[in-house]
């Protein structure tokens, strides 16, 4: 049996029980046995034309928020439990026996349970919001875990466990839920709080990769005549970083990427460490993903006879560890990138000596990354292998090299670097994991995610 919220039935009883902490819109279809549990400071908003079937429980803990948009349909025996916040977008559907929990028990480690008590909840909870965007459909017996965002018009198959965020307009299934195919959906709504990731790059000219720019050179309808002259209007950053940024935007079109390339030509680890420090002081930006790479100029300066600018291995070790420690404080994931080997910049025997020295710096970087919980991307090995294979090609075959001058990369070198970076991100599912909201201790989660749910809380609640 159901009751329309405009009547004096279910809605009146719930309003009398919960007061201004509960808002129910017009023409809602609510069951007599709907259970709503609102702790102190909690807020539940139910939009217009919402349908909820029998056996459903909505549990909102202290200070948390649950927002149910207009025209949402919730099936039988569904359970929603929020310690930070759950938001169901307009027109989404939750079928029968669906469960959404924005919190998990923390592990019973010594840090979480210093007293060692064997009692429920002594390890407390880790908490992160759940967002179901407009038009998404969750089939029977779907479970959604903390920190997940389900994209607009997505369809999640029966009995799936959604433990990571799902893109819009996809059909997803299995445990854990993964994309099976893309859905040719209706027009997507504008998502005002679109997911955004900030990606930073700190390194040398291998990252900076400046190219001269003139607008006419990129205007296919108005290219300059062959043999004519154009004026360099400025410098654009290109190379593998630019192409990786394009790949991220193409691969995750539902995400906004804020790309910040702080690569500087000629920089040693001493210079990059200063850049990292200045960036935090000047901008105070928190990064979702950071790529850090330096060392090639530390070595090269010594072989160039510029000893005052050269950076020895001990100083380099100090810089790389200091940067990793600093970046860890405001970056969710840091990837240390090995330097590429030197190409034919000097006589072969000198290049071999330079590369032997540079390999020591890469080993140090790998050790520092492991010690400080960062990932390490080795591009040295694939570059070495590719250079040897290109050098062994017979006459008449492809002769393009990996370097433009023995240090800076050619288009082929940039492409090889790009392939390694993209494969690395895919292998570790780095971006996919970053799209989940970080799970935090309960009180910190309420503080961190409170602004995200403030627009969905009644002013009087």
User: Domains of the chain: which residue ranges?
Assistant: 2-192+448-456, 196-434
Task: Please state which CATH number belongs to domain 2-192+448-456.
Answer: 2.160.10.10
Q: Is the pTM of this model over 0.85?
A: yes
pLDDT digit string (tens) for 44-56?
999 999 999 999 9
> How sure is the predictor about 120, in pLDDT bands with cuts at 50, 70 and 90?
low
Averaged pLDDT of the chain? 91
How is residue 234 annotated by DSSP?
E
Lowest mean pLDDT among 197-206, 219-228, 433-442: 219-228
Residues 6+ apart with CB under 8 A from 26: 5, 6, 48, 49
- Tokens 């020295």 sit on residue: 357
Average pLDDT rounded to a whole number, residues 203-225: 87
Contact criterion met (CB below 8 Å) for 433 and 128: no
Query: Rounded CA gap, 14 and 24, in Å?
Result: 9
pLDDT score for 460: 56
Give the chain's radius of gyration (CA, Å).
27
* Per-residue CA distances from 142 to 80, 85, 178, 371, 412 (Å): 12, 18, 13, 38, 46
Q: How far apart are CA 426 and CA 291, in angstroms?
A: 15
Three-class DSSP category at 97: coil
Q: Which position has the higher pLDDT, 111 or 68?
A: 68
pLDDT at 117 over 90: no
Q: What is the pLDDT of residue 190?
A: 85
Q: What is the CATH number of domain 196-434?
A: 3.40.50.1110
Confidence of residue 123 (pLDDT cuts 50, 70, 90): low
Q: Is 65 exposed, middle or buried (0-12, 13-18, 19+ CB in 10 A)?
A: buried
């Amino acid at each position: 049996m159901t009751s329309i919220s405009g009547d004096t039935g279910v809605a009146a009883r719930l309003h009398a029980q919960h007061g201004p902490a509960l808002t129910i819109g017009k023409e809602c279809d609510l069951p007599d046995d709907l259970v709503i549990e609102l702790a102190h400071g909690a807020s539940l908003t139910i939009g217009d034309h919402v349908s909820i079937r029998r056996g459903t429980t909505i549990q909102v803990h202290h200070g948390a928020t649950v927002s149910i948009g207009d025209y949402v349909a919730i099936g039988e025996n569904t359970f929603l439990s929020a310690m930070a916040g759950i938001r169901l977008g307009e027109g989404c559907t939750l079928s029968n026996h669906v469960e959404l929990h924005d919190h998990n028990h923390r592990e019973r480690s010594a840090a979480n349970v210093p007293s060692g008590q064997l009692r429920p909840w002594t390890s407390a909870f880790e908490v992160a919001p759940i967002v179901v965007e407009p038009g998404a459909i969750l089939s029977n017996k779907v479970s959604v875990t903390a920190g997940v965002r389900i994209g607009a018009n997505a369809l999640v198959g029966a009995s799936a466990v959604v433990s990571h965020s799902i893109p819009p307009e996809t059909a997803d299934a299995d445990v854990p839920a993964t994309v099976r195919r893309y859905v040719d959906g209706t027009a997507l709504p504008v998502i005002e709080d679109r997911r955004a990731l900030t990606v930073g790059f700190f390194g040398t000219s291998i990252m900076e990769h400046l190219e001269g720019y003139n607008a006419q050179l990129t205007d296919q309808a108005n290219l300059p005549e062959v043999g004519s002259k154009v004026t360099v209007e400025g410098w654009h950053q290109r190379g593998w970083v630019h192409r990786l940024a394009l790949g991220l935007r193409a691969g995750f079109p539902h995400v906004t990427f804020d790309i910040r390339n702080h690569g500087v030509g000629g920089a040693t680890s001493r210079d990059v460490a200063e850049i990292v420090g200045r960036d935090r002081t000047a901008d105070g930006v928190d990064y979702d993903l950071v790529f850090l790479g330096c060392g090639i100029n530390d070595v090269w300066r010594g072989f160039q006879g510029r000893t005052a600018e050269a950076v020895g291995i001990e100083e380099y070790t100090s810089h790389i560890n200091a940067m990793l420690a600093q970046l860890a404080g405001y970056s969710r994931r840091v990837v240390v990138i090995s330097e590429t080997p030197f190409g034919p910049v000097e006589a072969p025997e000198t290049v071999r000596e330079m590369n032997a020295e540079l390999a020591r710096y890469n080993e140090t970087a790998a050790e520092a990354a492991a010690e400080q919980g960062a990932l390490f991307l080795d591009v040295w090995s694939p570059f070495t292998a590719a250079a040897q294979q290109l050098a062994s090609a017979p006459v008449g075959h492809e002769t393009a090299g990996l370097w433009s001058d023995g240090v800076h990369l050619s288009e082929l070198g940039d492409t090889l670097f790009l392939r390694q970076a993209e494969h690395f991100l895919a292998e570790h599912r780095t971006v996919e994991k970053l799209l989940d909201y970080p799970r935090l201790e309960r009180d910190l989660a309420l503080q961190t995610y409170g602004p995200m749910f403030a627009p969905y809380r009644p002013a009087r609640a």
